[in-house]
Amino acid sequence: MVALYPYITISWLVPAFPLLGFLVTGLAKNRLKNNQAGIIASAMVSISFLISVFVFFALRASGQELVTVTLFNWISAGSLKIPFAFLIDNLSVTMMLIVTGVGALIHIYSIGYMHGDERVNSFFAQMNLFTFSMLLLVMGANYLILFIGWEGVGFCSYLLIGFWFKNPVFNYAARKAFVMNRIGDLGFILGIILLFFTFKSVSFTEVFSQAVSLHSGAPMITLITLLLLVGAVGKSAQIPLYTWLPDAMAGPTPVSALIHAATMVTAGIYMIARSGILYNLAPLTMNIMVILGLATAILAAVIGLRQNDIKKVLAYSTVSQLGYMFLALGLGAYSTAVFHLTTHAFFKALLFLGAGSIIHAMGGEQDIRKMGGLRKKMPVTYLTFLAATLAISGIPPFSGFFSKDLILSKAFENNPLLFILALGGALITCFYMFRLLYLVFFGSQRLSTAHPHESPRVMTIPLIILSILSVFGGFLNIPSLFGGKSGFSEFLSSTVRSKVTTELSFSTESGLITGSLILLIVVILLAYRTYVKKAAVPVADGVPTSFLSKTITNKFYIDEFYHAVIEKPFGFLSDFFFNKVENKILDPIVDEVGILTSKLGNLARKLQQGNMSFYFFAMVAGILLFIIFILIV
Amino acid sequence: MQEISSAIQLIPLENYVFLSVALFSIGMMGVLFRRNTIAILMCLELMFNSVNLLLTAFSAYHSDPAGQVFVFFIMIVAAAEVAVGLSIVVMMKRNVDSVDINLLNRLKW
């Protein structure tokens, strides 16, 4: 076999190609016709994917745990030395494969979905920039490069969520996402500064090698991990900063797929998994993560029960699934979290692209109450959507089963109560996903004006590929119970230091799985009975319902709460400062300075009469005065 | 060269200083109070030459030729200045038919 190892340095090409695509499609956006931008952008990300695959094999062949590819010296000031370097190890290679692989499929899909949009070229430029930022994020060898990517995805998400900026609601959603991310970013940058303050370095390898010598629960490390957690909470949409993600579906559907599946929200999970060594030293932060994750998982799932917008349901399910990942992270099962991230990337991208296909077919309609009976009209979309639904619900042998079951069993190892709560969330997930499936695809068509049709092949082929991944993705990590070797966890174990816990006995584990399976099937049957047998359709807006269901439909009034408690007072304060302080105090003072200067100038102007003799006289008088001054003093 | 130096040194240094101060003051007064541009230029020359005289005298008394080299420089600058100055005067005469310095105040912004 040819020695692949020396060629691993070409990994810098992985982010370079999307950047190139961004430059080409962005600069030539007025010249590219029809699908050219889409084809260029998709090709760039696909090439990145191929290089990622190559890097994956090169890394395996090298037999090394990690390879650092240094491009150039970026910052060098005193003791602060930060090279612009990429860290290639099993974790970053996994993330690279997910980002470029799923990203490429979404790009290809977008060619069909965005066909005919007037700003399609800008769209692909922004998508490529988004992918580039995410790649920078997962490949950076230190926290600062990670932070560049971190800010990059935040900015690109703002652009893409507000892509149809003529609609003020969408614009508001984009700003909301940006501001909420900013809150998290503040915590994150403070965390990085503290890291540098403590370890005198921001490079992963140096920080982690020094951190090992610290004792568990040191206040500094707890503070650092908490601040980093604030960043992750903002980016990965956990309580209390989750409300931006459901609104983020204002953007075109492929953008939602990219944000929810491959990029952006996975950044927080990746960052914490990467910093696992630090988190292992901070039990307090871990406990907070467990509580946050579980609360988010259940709250979002409950809200998802009553949403009628197809993308909103999926958005809340993302928040909920991210909660599970946080739960796994909090339990110290980092590789499990990354595994769930991987399978989730497959099936959530599939769900969103499927939803896009449905919306496309329904002529822009997103309300599931108006759909129905699409099974016959859109067989490919139906089958792929079904695969994704089964996967997210955790039905064996679909991919979601393996990852979610692993999280549940980790929860059981720690505390049976956690297991029960997490299982409850999973059952709710299963219910609302099947509610969605039945309402959209079964029964009769409720909107007579629409003429649903199957989407073009450029859209269905990515769906089919993703559905294959969703179905079989779980086999990457077959637990020992089913005679597997947990290959994925083993693969990551060299990079991600998961906490070692006592494994459950096979009998307990199989008992848990059987129990949860029975419950899942009961829930599916319940959903079937309600939405197919009785053909119940969720009530229209404005119809009075019970207090509880109204509260859930309105998302527990969290948005209203934030609006009243944070936005309103803040706006009031801004108004006060603008109208009273700025206009009444600061502006007049500044004006006064200007007026004084011009008055003095008017005075001095009188000297400049243009009278030559006077100038001479002034000059001589000045010189004389000067001489006299020197002689006297 | 030696004879010129000794010839200069026949007169006490103070007298040179007094003479050049007197010349300089006359020149300055002329520049300040005359209105005829040509007269002002002539007064300027007078100031130049008073300084030249002083330089030469000091140079001779100190046996340092550098002072005399300076005089040559000043002469060249003065020649150039006169060339420019007189051409300005010619243009003034042509344009406003006068050489009164106060007419130049129209050039102000």
Q: Is residue A383 part of a domain?
A: yes
- If asked whether residues A348 and A413 sit together in one domain, one would say yes
User: Which residues of chain B are within 8 Å of residue A620 when distances are taken between CB atoms?
Assistant: 28, 32
Structure-token pair, residue B63: 């046996």
The fraction of chain A above a pLDDT of 90, given in percent, is: 35
Average pLDDT over residues A70-96: 87
The pLDDT > 70 percentage for chain A reads 98
Residue range A383-409: average pLDDT? 89
pLDDT score of A413 more than 50: yes
DSSP label of A4: -
Domain holding B47, by residue range, is 2-107
What's the structural domain count of chain B? 1
pLDDT of amino acid A1: 46
Alpha carbon of A624: minimum distance to chain B alpha carbons (Å) = 12
Tell me the residue range of the domain where A594 lies.
559-602
Cβ pair B16, B54 in contact under 8 A:
yes
User: Do A537 and A402 share a structural domain?
Assistant: yes
Residue A604's pLDDT is what? 86
Q: What is the pLDDT of residues A132-143, one digit of tens each?
A: 999 999 999 999
Nearest CA in chain B to A608: B108
Start-end of H helices in A200-218 = 204-211
Residue pointed to by tokens 């006289």: A617
- Considering the domain architecture, whether residues A433 and A401 belong to the same structural domain is answered as yes
Query: What local confidence, expressed as pLDDT, does residue A4 receive?
Result: 64
Which two three-digit tokens encode residue A314?
A: 């999926």
B33–A613 CB contact, under 8 Å? yes
From the list B32, B106, B107, the residue facing A616 with the nearest CB is: B32
In A, residues 592-611, which contact B (CB 8 Å cutoff)?
608-611
**What's the length of chain A?**
633
The total domain count for chain A is: 2
CATH code of the domain containing B10: 1.10.287.3510
Q: Select the more confidently predicted residue: A501 or B73.
A: B73
Chain A (24-43) residues lying within 8 Å, Cβ to Cβ, of chain B: none
Q: What is the pLDDT of residue A494?
A: 73
- The residue that leads in pLDDT, A495 or B48, is B48
| Same domain, yes or no: A414 and A352 | yes
Q: For residue B28, which residues of chain A lie inside 8 Å, CB to CB?
A: 620
What are the tens digits of pLDDT across the range A472-513?
888 888 777 777 777 787 788 777 777 766 677 788 888 888
Question: Is the CB of residue B20 less than 8 Å from the CB of residue B54?
Answer: yes
Q: Name the token pair of A161.
A: 């969520």
Tell me whether residue A154 is in a domain: no
> Would the CB atoms of A620 and B32 count as touching at under 8 Å?
yes
DSSP 3-state assignment of B99? coil
A118-174 tens-digit pLDDT? 888 899 999 999 999 999 999 999 999 999 999 999 999 999 999 988 888 898 889
What is the Cα–Cα distance from A390 to A402, expressed in whole angstroms? 12
B21, B32, B44: best to mutate for the A interface, most A CBs within 10 A = B32
Q: Say yes or no: A424 and A439 in one domain.
A: yes
CA distances from B52 to A226, B39, B85 (A): 83, 20, 20
Closest chain B C-alpha to A586 CA, distance in angstroms: 35
A617 CB near a chain B CB, below 8 Å? Answer: yes
Question: Which is more confident, A426 or A531?
Answer: A426
- How do residues A327-357 score in pLDDT, each as one tens digit? 999 988 888 899 999 999 999 999 999 999 8
What is the chain B residue with the closest CA to A614? Answer: B32
Residues of B in contact with A610 (CB under 8 A): 104-108
| CB-CB neighbors (< 8 A) of A616 in chain B | 31-32
Query: Do A433 and A415 share a domain, yes or no?
Result: yes
**Which residue of chain A comes nearest to B109, CA vs CA?**
A610
Is position A147 within any domain?
no
Residues A571, A575, A577, A583: what is their CA dihedral angle, to the nearest 10 degrees?
160
Average pLDDT of span B27-38? 89
Domain membership flag for residue A356: yes
Q: Which residues of A touch B31 (CB under 8 A)?
A: 616
Q: Where are the alpha helices (DSSP H) in A140-218?
A: 143-161, 168-199, 204-211
Residue A382 placed within a domain: yes
pLDDT digits (tens, 9 = 90+) for A173-196: 899 899 889 989 999 999 999 998
Partner-chain contact B32 A617, CB within 8 Å: yes
Structure tokens at A113: 């979905």
Residue B109 reports pLDDT greater than 70: no
Averaged pLDDT, B43-56? 92
- B108 pLDDT tier (thresholds 50, 70, 90): low
Interchain CB distance below 8 Å, A610 and B31: no
Of the candidates A164, A162, A188, the residue with the CA atom closest to the CA atom of residue A176: A162
Separation in Å, CA of A178 to nearest CA in chain B: 54
Which ranges of A529-577 would DSSP assign to H, the alpha helix? 547-553, 558-562, 568-576
Query: Which string of DSSP letters, residue by residue, matches A97-148?
Result: HHHHHHHHHHHHHHHHHTTT-TTHHHHHHHHHHHHHHHHHHHHBSBHHHHHH
Pair A405, A464 in one domain: yes
| Residue A370 vs residues A326, A363, A399, A455, A625: alpha-carbon distances, Å | 35, 12, 30, 19, 95
DSSP string, A354-407: HHHHHHHHTTS--BGGG---HHHH-HHHHHHHHHHHHHHHT-TTSHHHHHHHHH
- Cα B108 off chain centre by: 27
